[in-house]
Amino acid sequence: MKAKEPFELGFFLHTPFNLTENFVEKFENFEEKFNNLTKEIIKAMLSFDKVGFQTNKDRDIFVKWAKHFYKKKLHKTISKNIIIIKIENITPKKGCNLGVYPATIKIDDFTSIAEKEEIINEAKKLRDDVDVYPRKSENGKHFGGGKLFFGVERFDYTKGIKEKLRAFEKYLEDHPDRVGKDVLYQIAQDNRGGIGSFKIYHDEIKEIPDEINKKFQQTFYLTDKDGQGIEINYKPIIFETKGVNREELVKRYLAMDIGVVTPVMDGMNLVVKEMIVCNPDAALILSEGAGTHHQFTENKLGHNYHLVQDIEDAEAFAQVMHEAVTQPKKVAELSEYLKENGVEKWSNEFLYGKK
């Protein structure tokens, strides 16, 4: 069937665009292979009418490589934050439009759950059941002082799970007054364990929580104002590899004090946005590898969370955790920003060019 009007082809890159030479360094003559592969990727992407990137950083790297390969053949113009590239016999005649469209979530899918009274009550119960203050004794009395760190991601080496665990270990070593109080609750959904390299990684990481728990576990007793005692069996890490449904996930977002999303590198990381809209009273720790960090800083919102610059530096990472406990930055401003920039706005901008 013949189309009445010409249609456009668009491509959205949900991963980071960060081509480096180790991309093909395992091959012989890797520099030549790197250049050839990179040029093919650039050429293929430029054949679309429209290409969407998660961040300005990703788009800038793409443009840099396009200029590198096509030099004087490349003609570049900018219109309303859209970079238009024209290269004869490579791009469409009107050029390839390069835009920045940070992926996001359908806000109502999460806030509608987070606002339910039964979900709020179950989140409070979940919080009481976790080995972290404030705890509730049988007579309903609370003991205060502890914080619940929470992270959830795919069990993948790009997510920085190992580095997060080791940083929390260092945090407890450096701040012994937090032992017996604070807990890191980590869900690492195991969905690629059958792949050899992932299995090796999984087996290595699964040993770390047990190691840390043995190191810091405690059994002690507290007495409330009425003189009634409660036995506490403290372990600092809860580590689960089974995913949970959306309602259960929202309960955990509501229960947490501090969300920890610290990937090595991620295109955007929508978990961050889910946490923020569900619990605007929480604090947030992000790594420089999270695309959300770049989106927030590009919109002058980087002062609303705690940043880990190098997740492999356990000491610095641990210090950021301590700052999030002692001087928490609340994400309420980020929550309002995200509510104004939901998936409907994303689709209008990317698909139809509407603001």
Q: What is the three-state SS of the chain?
A: CCCCCCCCCEEECCCCCCCCHHHCCCCCCHHHHHHHHHHHHHHHHHCCCEEEECCHHHHHHHHHHHHHHHHHHCEEEEECCEEEEECCCCCCCCCEEEEECCCCCCHHHHHHHHCCHHHHHHHHHHHHHCCCCCEECCCCCEECCCCEEEEEEECCHHHCHHHHHHHHHHHHHHCHHHCCCCEEEEEEECCCCCCHHHHHHHHHHHHHHHHHHHHHCEEEEEECCCCCEEEEEECCEEEECCCCCHHHHHHHHHHCCEEEECCCCCCCCHHHHHHHHHCCCCEEEEECCCHHHHHHHHCCCHHHCEEECCCCCHHHHHHHHHHHHHCCCECHHHHHHHHCCCHHHHHHHHHHCCC
What is the predicted pLDDT for the residue at 137? 46
Residues of the chain with pLDDT under 50: 1-3, 24, 134, 136-143
Helices 196-216, 161-174: inter-axial angle, 10-degree rounding: 10
pLDDT single digits (tens) 277-301: 999 999 999 999 999 999 999 999 9
What is the predicted pLDDT for the residue at 109? 97
Closest CA to 185 of 146, 262, 128, 239: 239
| Integer Cα distance of 273 and 43 in angstroms | 33
Contact 99, 81 (CB under 8 A): yes
pLDDT single digits (tens) 139-170: 444 445 689 999 999 999 899 999 999 999 99
Half-sphere exposure of residue 72: CA atoms within 13 angstroms, side-chain side: 0
> Taking the mean position of all CA atoms in its chain, how far away is CA 215?
28
Closest CA to 180 of 124, 211, 135: 135
Q: Which architecture characterizes domain 107-339 according to CATH?
A: 3-Layer(aba) Sandwich (3.40)
CA torsion angle 327 115 345 283 (round to 10): 10
Q: Which two tokens stand for residue 65?
A: 């490589």
Q: Which two tokens stand for residue 125?
A: 């119960």
Domain ranges of the chain: 10-101, 107-339
